[in-house]
Each structure stands twice: as C-alpha cells, then as structure tokens.
Amino acid sequence: MRSPSSAQRRCSRLKFLDNHDAISKALPKPLDSGRIVSDATKMGYIYYTLRPPYALYDALFQSELKDSQDLIRNTEQRKYVKFKQLQGAGFNNQAQEILLFHHLALQTGRTYVYQPFIWRPRGEKAAVPLSAFLRGPTRGSISEATFNEVCPESDVKHVTLVTNHNRQWSHAKDVLSKEDRCIVVDDWLFNWNYLGSTGIHDIWPSYQKYLNTHFEWSPQVLSVIDKTEEALNFKTNRTMKYDGSYMALHLRRGDFEAHCAWLKTRQTGFTTWSTLPALSSSILPPSLSLTSPESIYTHCYPSLPRILSAITRLAASKPHLRRIHILHDGAIDHPLVYLQYHKLKAALMDQGWARRNGWKGGPMFQVTQSSDIPVERGERDWKVCVDMELAVRADAFVGNGYSSLSSQIAALRLARDGARAEDIVFV
C-alpha cells in the first residue's frame, strides 16, 4: 500500500474535526474548572434569589383586560376563535404555537383569543401574561377572560380540526372561515406529528409574511436585548476595529440526550421549519437518514467535533466573523452543559486549531454565552427571548434541526428582509 502524498496529508489536516480524539488534542489543557464551577454557581444564585416580576405581571394582566374590553366595546360584527393551547411546555413550544394560532385567526378573519403563558414550575403563579413576552399576538386580540364575557357558553360552537396532515391547513381555514361568531377548538391542532410533517409547508408562504409584519417582542424584552447588545459589543462601534458582526450557535443539551435516544427509536426527523426545502442544503453532511438510528442521533445530539465542523463551514467562508454567541440550556440541574461550552470556547479561541482547520481569519476573539446576558432583578424570565433575538440578528446561525427553538430562530431569520438560507447551518 502506498503512503499518502504530502498533498493528501495537507488535505487531511484541513478536514473538519469529526472525532473525539481530534478534539481532545485540539483543546488547551487543562480547562479552567474554576470558571465552570463559577458559571454553575452563578446560575444557582440567580435561580434562588431572583424573583419573577409579579407586580409587573399583575399590572400587565389588568392592562390586557382593559385593552380587550375597549376592543369589544368599540367594534362590532367580530368573530372569535379560542384554541386548545399547550400548558407548561418550554417557552418556545408555547410561543411557536401561539404565533401559528394568531396567524390562522388572521387568515380566517377572526379575532384571536389569547391565553397566558404557563411557566413551570410555579404553582399558583405559573400563569404569566402573554404581553410580557410577545406583543404581536395581543394587538387587535382579546384575552381569555374577556372571551368569557363576549361569548357565553350558549353562543359557543365547539369544533375539532385535526385531519390528514397534507389537508390540515386548508381544512382548518375552511372550518374557521364559516359564519359562527364564537368558536372554541377542542383538539390539539399543532401537535408534534403535524409539526414534523411536510404538511406544514403549506403554511410557510403566508406565515413568512406574518412573521415579517406581526412578530414583535414586548417592550420589556426589547429593553434587555438593547442593553445586552451594548454589553456584549454586538452593535457597530466606530471606536473599535470591528463592526458588531457575530455568529450564533444553539447548543441544545440539558435533557436532550435522553430525548434524542427516544427519537431515534421512532425514526423521527427534523421539526417544523427545519424541514423546509429551502433549508435542505443547510444540513451539515452526512445528510439525515430516517432509516438509521445512528444518523438520527448524530443530528439530534451532535458531538462537539461535529458542532465545530458546522461552525467551521461558516467561519471558513466568512473570515470577518470572529465572534460567536452560544445559546445553551445550562442550569443548576444541567451543570455539565457549562463544561461542554468551555470545551467549545477553548477550541474556537485556539490559534493552532483555527490554522489546522483553514480559518483564514484566525480563531474567534470573543465567545459569549447565555449566562453573559446582563439581567437585573426580575428580568430572568426574558433571557430565552433575548437569546433568540441575538441569534436572529446574528450574521450567521448554527442550529439543531430537532429543536423547536432553532427551528423558530431559522423561521424568524428567513422572514427578515435580505435573509439568506446559506447563512444557516443545521448540525
């Protein structure tokens, strides 16, 4: 057998890292365990000491009620729809569904009846006002409390909408376009199976326009976003050598390892907007194979070398992007996420690693994470919203096609003017 030529050896050295031995060699040793413990301790302090802004939430509930009552007094001939909504799921699972509900209501000429977020685990204080997070779905809509006033049970028509995935969107619009004044949908329309099917592609053309015109964070969220961009230098600053450009990575860990192990036994593919044909070329090779449990797990819970390969795919072609913000789910109950974050950070800021992987612009000179968002007392609930918007505004994004959060970020990016699918990579 002939030994490889020098050219072949050089080519091999430039290939993306995709094995655990390679990353072990690439990482500076030892990692600073003190910083990892500090991150976990900081999260523990935040968890136990920062109370949600209950006084603000109470005031917003009252404001929602007043605005809703003003709306029904000043308008006539309205038709209403209230949907069966997720209770207590993750923030983005609830937000994604609410946005789709609002879009469907607008498409069928109905006033959307919005409900609170259910924030777990908070017992009797689990309900938080929608307007504290998303402003768009509350404009021109009414709260659940007002619906009970304007639509007594005797006037309500109960319907079910679930049908074949390929007909689901058109069927739902047909039913809700009828003349019944007050409709309550009793079944779970945007269930997991539907969101993972190609049937949702029928929604995308109008939903993309909806996101462009109706998606809006609350003033509270926008305030934290603004100060975060300032604190992390994500705004153009003429006094500095960089222009504010950065990429974002969604590091989905936490409870996802067990979830991905379950998904691979069910031959489950990507979720929601990650399945759009326009994003098929955004998937990091090898392509996803639903007949292979190993392939499913590789994409759902990618190794750190694979994540680095996805970052390299963007960084090699965008030498000006040498700052990255990493969204992750590290918490007091998932402290090892911080270890993985610091491993990634060490590799991304290593000169030798960047050189071996063909980064002409050199290594990253700034790596930030979710814990760096400068929240004050009572602002912690909005951190996930801030992380999302930072990823939407980033020049490039690396996400996980199995995550609803990554999927929604991709959708929001594509809905913005000048968006490019090639600036998105799914691991």
Tell me the angle at which helices 168-176 and 91-107 cross, rounded to the nearest 10 degrees. Answer: 60
**pLDDT tens readout for residues 227-286:** 999 999 997 554 555 577 999 999 999 888 899 999 999 999 999 999 999 999 999 999
Fold of 6-30+220-426: Rossmann fold (3.40.50)
**pLDDT tens readout for residues 327-345:** 998 877 788 889 999 999 9
Neighbouring-strand partners of residue 326: 249, 369
Whole-number Å distance between alpha carbons of 172 and 154: 23
- Residue 34: the pLDDT is 63
Tokens 């017992």 locate to 123
**pLDDT band with cut points at 50, 70 and 90 for residue 88:** confident
The dihedral through the CA atoms of 17, 23, 28, 31 has a sign that is positive
Indicate the CATH number for domain 54-214: 3.40.50
The whole-number average pLDDT for the span 213-223 is 97
- Residue 419: the pLDDT is 87
The dihedral through the CA atoms of 304, 309, 314, 318 has a sign that is positive
Do residues 200 and 104 lie in contact, with contact meaning Cβ atoms separated by under 8 Å?
no
pLDDT at residue 74 greater than cutoff 90: no
pTM comes to 0.86
- Residue 199: the pLDDT is 96
Does this chain's domain 6-30+220-426 share its CATH topology with 54-214? yes
**pLDDT band with cut points at 50, 70 and 90 for residue 19:** very low
- Residue 16: the pLDDT is 38
φ, ψ of residue 355 to 5 degrees: the values are: -65, -45
- Three state DSSP letters for 119-160: CCCCHHHCEECHHHCECHHHCCCEEHHHHHHHCCHHHEEEEC
Neighbouring-strand partners of residue 156: 182
Whole-number Å distance between alpha carbons of 207 and 142: 21
* Local structure of 272: helix, strand or coil: helix
Whole-number Å distance between alpha carbons of 206 and 184: 23
Does an H or E element contain 328, and which? strand 323-328
Residues whose CB is less than 8 angstroms from the CB of residue 225 and which lie 6 or more positions away in sequence, other chains included: 217, 385, 386, 389, 390
The whole-number average pLDDT for the span 86-96 is 90
For the chain, domain boundaries: 6-30+220-426, 54-214
